[in-house]
Amino acid sequence: MSPSPPPLAKQNTENCADGNYAIGFRDGAIVRQPQERVQLEIVDIKPHRVSDGTKITVTVRLQNVSDQPILVPWATPPVEPENDPKTGTKSWENVSIRLTFGTHEDRSNTYLKGEADLAATPSNRAQHTELLSGQSAEVKFSAIIECYSSQSWECQKLPTTGHAQMTAHWWESLTTREEEGCSIWKGNYQSRMATSAPFPITYIKTSASDDQKTNQSK
């Protein structure tokens, strides 16, 4: 993809200390040869029966289904960026694992609150986990049955009572930051993406406390 127009060229570097920066953005994708392939799976969700506001624990598994080993960022962010001595460009790797929630009938899904974040300095092997062909690694994290955003236009209506499903999404990217005088270039380059098959759960359109009272009265 083409970068956005360059920042304004005529900037007085003496004003940089006052926050007078022009900011530009670059994005694209990292192409590796031979091509890498990964597969994402939801191993388990607890509890399986949820309602509005229920806190869940999710375990996902990333498997290397390519023929060669791969390195996956595996440290807790933030990490120290790598600094290129020639260009001064700083770079670091990021992983974000998110969940969407919906029903079998309705294809619209809502992103839930709660995610897992991983990171690594590109040259630091200790901050990566190596997966040989066929090997996998698991991540466990918490989420809540609630839309991630406070903006109503970003949230689909949660499904009605019945059968629902959860889908996991893995986004991996390389982030860069480069300063040129009073100009700052911010880069984001897609590295790996994976989406799991839907995981079935039971959704009850009540609060967790109301659901507990109903069970106690039976």
pLDDT in tens, 183-216: 899 999 999 999 999 999 998 876 545 545 544 5
Q: What is the pLDDT of residues 160-183, one digit of tens each?
A: 667 889 999 999 999 999 988 888
Q: What is the mean pLDDT of the chain?
A: 86
* Domain residue ranges in the chain: 21-217
Cα–Cα distance between 19 and 12 in angstroms, integer?
A: 11
- Look at residue 109 in the predicted model and tell me its pLDDT: 81
Extended beta strands in the chain, E state: 22-29, 38-46, 49-52, 55-64, 70-73, 82-83, 90-103, 110-113, 116-120, 128-131, 136-147, 162-180, 183-195, 199-207
- If we measure between CA atoms, which residue out of 60, 115, 93, 74 comes closest to residue 176? 93
Q: Quote the Cα angle for 139-145-149, to 5°.
A: 95
Average of pLDDT values for 114-127? 98
Question: Cα–Cα distance between 208 and 218 in angstroms, integer?
Answer: 16
pLDDT at 2: 42
Pick the CATH number of 21-217 from 2.60.40.10, 1.10.10.60, 3.40.309.10, 3.40.718.10: 2.60.40.10
44 pLDDT band, cuts 50/70/90, is very high
Find the mean pLDDT for residues 68-87.
96
Instruction: Give yes or no for residue 90 having a pLDDT over 50.
Output: yes
Q: What is the dihedral of CA 140, 98, 147, 142, to 10 degrees?
A: 10
Q: How confident is the model at residue 217 (pLDDT cuts 50, 70, 90)?
A: very low
pLDDT at residue 107 in the model: 58
Rounded-to-integer distance, Cα 87 and Cα 110, Å? 41
Pairwise pLDDT comparison (19 vs 122), residue with the higher score: 122
Average pLDDT over residues 97-124: 88
Q: What is the mean pLDDT of residues 110-136?
A: 97
The fraction of the chain above a pLDDT of 70, given in percent, is 79
Which residue, among 119, 80, 122, 78, has the nearest Cα to 96 in the 3D structure? 119
Q: What pTM was estimated for this model as a whole?
A: 0.83
Average pLDDT, integer, range 46-56: 94
